[in-house]
Amino acid sequence: MTLRALGLAMTATAALSLAGCGTLHRFDPVPVRQADGQIRPTVDPRIRPTDEAKLNELLRTFAARLEDENSSGAVLALSGGGANGAFGAGLLVGWTQTGTRPQFDIVTGISTGALSAPFAFLGPDWDDELQEAYIGGGIDGMLNLSGLSILVSPSLYSSAPLRRLIEENVTPRLLRAVAIEHAKGRRLLVVTTHLDTKQSIIWDMGVLATQGDDQALYLFRQVLLASASIPGVFPPVMIAGLQGDLVVDEMHVDGGVNMPFLAVPDRLLVDSPARTGPGRPAIYVVVNGQVDANPQAVPGTFNAIAMNSYDSMSKASRRMHLTANAAYAARHNIDLKIASIPMDAQAGSLDLHQQAMNALFDLGRRTALGGNAWYVLNAGSGPQTLLPERPLPDELQPTP
């Protein structure tokens, strides 16, 4: 299955919408409870755009990690991309094998990037678990249509296989390991889209891991599931939240709806003092997809038009966000390094067959081992000066 499947998904979803079928019934929300029936209070891990205190704390943390001469000064952003996340997973494993992979101070994940982010955050010791999650066979056949179930569901596919995969890999042991790293000042962030407010929500996963109980484990898994739930393909994830003292039912979906990746928070992109700290920090962005445009004649069918429109929209969003982050890096003497799937590779965000996933994982690993994984913007030698590791695609070339 290739991106054509997404066109089919959009077609079917539109048809079902017109028919008034596939409604998700929303019930009165109930807070997550422990097995003993008690609600355990915890710090809310959500960082909403309207929450000035939490957002400012995140911005201070981000800036401080880039300034701290005792930290690695490295940020890793893992993008969405569905099945293409196997490329990013393979790249991380191959990077470990080169012996040059840094410890990241901040790791962020969106969609498929959210699934790999905890393993990337915990470092090379968790590469086996990362590899197993993507090419261990748990994903194969995940997009199998289940008869007439789409007539009573808000999506084409059940999220049950994805939920099982997350439950198998996100364990109490993983939460304990995340909590230990969180206590050192490192941060693991995952993004979902809150459809009710149309806003991106950043989740501080270390806050959940530090709580460490069954309630935290359940919500940790729910956030990962929500971030990876492509609308129309998988159903939304309902998460209980608070508005004052009122418990509300929040609908969360793929974090990639609003942004392809989270490298530099939006507030810092437009309003931040120049960085003056020593050294040259680096922001690494793994794009689980292709950045370049690939011109081709589009057939005049609905599916082809829908598929290519989505593909064009996704690539334009990636380029826009990469350009904005490159401008920030240039102003602050930071290296922005970008890895993406080569344009000559076969890649499809919904091709979840094991053979395709294995091929993408191997491509990512070989790319890292070959030493040519990154497009590099070296702000230290002047605005958007290119290092000769790998040329940028035309769309990202600096304007003379």
Catalytic residue IDs: 111, 254
Residues 357-387, buried b or exposed e (16+ Cβ, 10 A)? bbbbbbbbbebbbeeebbbbbbbeeeebebe
Contact 47, 265 (CB under 8 A): no
Contact 226, 252 (CB under 8 A): yes
DSSP secondary structure, 66-134, as one string:
HH-TTS--EEEEE---GGGHHHHHHHHHHHHHHT-PPPPSEEEEETHHHHHHHHHHH-GGGHHHHHHHH
Contact 255, 111 (CB under 8 A): yes
- Which H helix or E strand runs over 57? helix 52-67
Listed residue (192, 229, 224) closest to 209, CA to CA = 224
Parallel, antiparallel, or unpaired for β 335-340 and 375-378? antiparallel
Parallel, antiparallel, or unpaired for β 385-386 and 237-243? unpaired
Integer Cα distance of 361 and 366 in angstroms: 9
